[in-house]
Chains A and B, each alone.
Chain A
């Protein structure tokens, strides 16, 4: 079965410090991996994706993510957190032959001034 796990319900970080939001996945075949951000009472916004190629993917708002095939992980990172980064973050996986996405349970990021 396909699945995505976000092991942390919440991540707290001080403004200016680096942040990491973790994601691991389990799929058959090669995965397509995505990160989305959600602000309160809003839809999800796309941040970045890994399809193939370079394992380090850069996306919107200074975020990046590293695909690690051996550890089946796709952690989201940012070198210097902003208070405005505080939101709910979702990792998702797409299947190579099917238009269907599986989402993790979400991680709430709190960036304190």
Chain B
């Protein structure tokens, strides 16, 4: 099946700990995205990548880091510098050619909780 897979589904982080969220896609999409979802605030863009080995900060990149070493993979690390990381994290991908005129495909999300 073609799709986008996020893991784990639930993740618990201790104060001061870095954690990495996985995102893999087999859709052969060039563009990949990470969004954060908080209640009542919609989706906010953390990072995005239009091509392998390149990525750009979104609107709320502070306290997060990413890499794009392979076309299929776009992991997100939530660092200890992120002071309020508890949220639902969504990874998405799109064809990436021709601009933003193709729909994004989303993973099922990772719910991160600080304990």
Chain A residues with CB under 8 Å of chain B are 9, 32, 34, 36, 41-46, 49, 51, 90, 92-101, 103-106
Q: Sample 6 A-B pairs with CB under 8 A, ordered by A number.
A: A94-B100, A96-B100, A99-B48, A99-B100, A103-B43, A105-B41
Q: Nearest chain B CB to A56's CB is how many angstroms away?
A: 18
Q: Are A104 and B101 in contact (CB under 8 A)?
A: no
Instruction: Report A-chain residues with C-beta under 8 Å of the C-beta of B31.
Output: 99
Does B111 reach chain A (CB closer than 8 Å)?
yes
Q: Are B100 and A44 in contact (CB under 8 A)?
A: no
Q: Are B96 and A46 in contact (CB under 8 A)?
A: no
Q: Are A96 and B99 in contact (CB under 8 A)?
A: yes
Number of A-B residue pairs, CB cutoff 8 Å, is 72
When C-beta atoms are compared, the residue in chain B nearest to A104 turns out to be B42
Query: Chain A: interface secondary structure?
Result: strand
B31, B100, B109 interface centre (most CB from chain A within 10 Å): B100
Q: How large is the interface on B (under 10, 10 to 19, 20 to 34, 35 or more residues)?
A: 20 to 34
Does B27 reach chain A (CB closer than 8 Å)?
no
Q: Are B105 and A46 in contact (CB under 8 A)?
A: yes
Q: Nearest chain A CB to B5's CB is how many angstroms away?
A: 10
The 10 A-B residue pairs with the shortest CB-CB distance, nearest first, are A94-B100, A43-B106, A105-B42, A103-B43, A46-B103, A99-B31, A32-B101, A44-B106, A95-B100, A43-B108
Bound: A34/B105 CA distance, A: 12
Instruction: Report A-chain residues with C-beta under 8 Å of the C-beta of B19.
Output: none
Instruction: Report B-chain residues with C-beta under 8 Å of the C-beta of A46.
Output: 103-105
**A99-B42 contact given A32-B101, A42-B108, A46-B104, CB 8 Å threshold:** no
